Structure 1
C-alpha cells in the first residue's frame, strides 16, 4: 500500500488573497495531507501572502514566466521542460484561464490528467479581454475535466453545451464556516485595534482592488452615506493595482479619514467581526467566496444583481441594481437600525454545502481516483 501522498499541481496567477487562491488554500487546509499534497506553479514574481503557509504545510512552489504573447515559445518550452523534470505529477488543476489551453495541452501530451477551473464570468473589456477570450476558447476541448465555481462561470467559459457533459463539475468554493463565526469579544478587540468606536456603523468589503470589484461605486456610495451619517466608516480589506487610485478617490471626496484601508490580510475572519454590513457591488464575478464567509459571520450582504444567485444561501442576502445608488443608500440606512448578531443555526445549516471539509472530501476522492487512473 502506498503511504506517500499523491501530489497535485495547482496553477495560479500569484499567491495573493484573491478568489481562486483563497479557494485553493481553503481546500488545501481541509484536505488530508497524508493522502493528497498540493504543489503550486505561479506566474507572478513577487512573494504572495500564502507562500509561507504553503511551505509549512509541505507544498512546493515553482514560478513560470508570465505569458506576454511575444514569449509564446519560451512559455511552451518552460512547461515542456517542467513536466520532463517532474514525472511525479500525474494531475494538473489549472486556475489560470488565459493560458490554460497552452499548459493543459502540454500536460496532456505528457500523460497528466488535466482539470480546468472557471472562477469568473468575464475578462473585462478592451484588447487584452479580446485576446483572453480567444486564448481560452479551446479549453473546453483540451481539458479532461471542466470545473466551475458556479454554473454561471461554467457556461461563460465552456459554453452551455459543455455544462451538460459528464466531465463538467460545479464545485462550490469551500469555506471553513467555523472560522468565520461571529464573536462579540473579537469584534470589540478588532474595533479597538482599528480605532472604531462601539457605536460607529461600519460598511465593509473584502476583495482585491481591481476593476471587477467596482470600488469606485462603493467609495462614491459611502461618501454620500457619510455626509448624512458622519458616525460611519468604510473598511476595505485587500490589495491590488487600484489601491492608490481608491486612496486618491477618497481624498478627493473628502472621506479619507473615514475610510480604513488595511491591505491584504490572511486573517480576514477577524475583519468581518468589525463590520455591520457587507457591501459587494461587483461588475462581474464567478462565485465570490467572501459573500459566503460574510453570511457565516451573520452579516447582512448587499450585492450587485450581476452576481450569481448560487451565493444567495441565507436570509441575509439582497441583490440591488448598480444603476440606482439611492436604493443602496436606503438599504444601508435601514440596516443601521439593526443589532449585529451571529448567523442563526438555520442559516448555518443552509451554508453546509459550502463547508470546506465537505468540498475537500469530495475533491480528495476525485484526485485519488484520477491519480490511480493516470498511473495505469
Structure 2
C-alpha cells in the first residue's frame, strides 16, 4: 500500500523516508532509494526491546528535527512512535489502521492495552476500512467522523488484462494450456490460511482436474506449507513464488483467486484480483466491502469441499470485464488517491507554518 502511494507522489513536493524495524534488506529498498527515499533502521519492537526502541526513536527524532510528519503503520504499536513524536514536538502524527479485530488469543490483552494507550497521540487517524478503524480507534471515534479512509489503491492500467503477460508468466511457471491455476497472494502466515488451500487443491485434483496452486508472498510458514504439500502428495502441484515485484503479472496468469484469510482489515489482494477480472472466492470472514465488483463468492472455512466444487468448474482463462471506472468510483485508482494524500500532507504542513 505504502509503495503504491509513494510511486505516484510528486516527489518534488512530497518525499517519503522509511524507518524499518528489521536488520535485513526488504523487497522494496532498492526501489525506495532509486525514488529518492532514505531508509533508517532500528531494532525490533518486541516486548523485551520496548525500552530500547523508545530510547532509540527519541534519539532519532532529536537527530532529525526536519521531520514534521510521522505516518505510522504499526497498528496498536503506533503508540510508541506517536507518543514520543508528540513529546518531541512533531506536529503531524498519523496512525493508520490496516487490520480488524482478530478474536481473542494470547496477544489480545497486550494489543488492547496499547490500542487504548494510543488514542491521545495521533493528530490524524487513517484507516483502510471502517472495521479496521473500529478496532484500532473505537466505535465512538468512528461515529464522530474522526477517521479518514485512505484506500489501498492500485494502478488500474497495470491491472488491465493482458493475454501476453498471462502467457509469459504461465510459461515461466511451466504450465500447460490446460492447467487450471488457483492463485493466492499474501504473507505465508496463519492469518492468511494458505494451509486450507492445500486441502482445497487436494480435493480439486481428486476430481480429475489438472490444477496447480501458486502462492505469491513470503513468510514463516514456507517450510510448513512445503512439508504439508509433500505429505498430501502435492509437491509438484504447489508453487511458492515468494515475494515478487510484479504481483499484477502473476494475477494475470491465474484462473481463479482463492482468499481464505481468517481475518482481514479489508482484503486488498482480493480487490487486485478483481481488477484483473479474475473469478474470486473468499472466506466469509473477509469484509464484503472488498467485493467491489459484486462477483466475489463468499464461502465458510469449514467446508473445503464447497470451495473445491466451485473451483473445479471454473473455465480456464475466464475473465470478468472490470471497468477502470469501477476502481475510480470506489476510490481505488491510485493516481487519484495519491493526489488526495499528497494534498493532505502539503495542506498539513501549511497549517503549521
- What is the TM-score when the length of structure 1 is the normalising length? 0.89
Q: Which of 101, 108, 116 is the equivalent residue of 2:79? A: 101
Counterpart in the other structure of 2:296:
317
Distance 1:317 1:329 in 2: 15
Distance 1:229 1:198 in 2: 16
Counterpart in the other structure of 2:120:
141
Secondary structure in 2 matching 1:340: coil
Question: Is there any run of 5+ residues in structure 2 with no aligned partner, and where?
Answer: none
Distance 2:291 2:152 in 1: 13
Distance 1:217 1:332 in 2: 14
Distance 1:343 1:368 in 2: 37
Counterpart in the other structure of 2:98:
119
Please show how residues 188-207 of structure 1 align to structure 2 within 5 Å.
Answer: 188-207=167-186
Secondary structure in 1 matching 2:27: coil
Counterpart in the other structure of 1:290:
269
Please show how residues 233-244 of structure 1 align to structure 2 within 5 Å.
Answer: 233-244=212-223
Counterpart in the other structure of 2:346:
368
Change in 2 beyond 3 A, CA 1:114/1:312: same
For the 8 Å contact 2:193–2:260, the answer to whether it is kept is yes
- The runs of 4+ residues in structure 1 deviating greater than 4 Å are none
For the 8 Å contact 2:279–2:318, the answer to whether it is kept is no
Report how many aligned residue pairs link the two structures. 350
- What is the TM-score when the length of structure 2 is the normalising length? 0.95
Counterpart in the other structure of 1:209:
188
Distance 1:287 1:238 in 2: 18
Offset of residue 349 of structure 1:
1.8
Counterpart in the other structure of 1:332:
311
For the 8 Å contact 2:82–2:93, the answer to whether it is kept is yes
Counterpart in the other structure of 1:38:
16
Counterpart in the other structure of 1:175:
154
Q: Deviations over 1:167-212 (max 9, x none)?
A: 3111111111111111111111111111000111110001110010
Q: Deviations over 1:99-124 (max 9, x none)?
A: 21111011112222110001111456
Offset of residue 339 of structure 1:
4.5
Question: Is there any run of 5+ residues in structure 1 with no aligned partner, and where?
Answer: 1-22
**CA RMSD, aligned part only?**
1.5
Q: Which of 25, 32, 54 is the equivalent residue of 2:3? A: 25
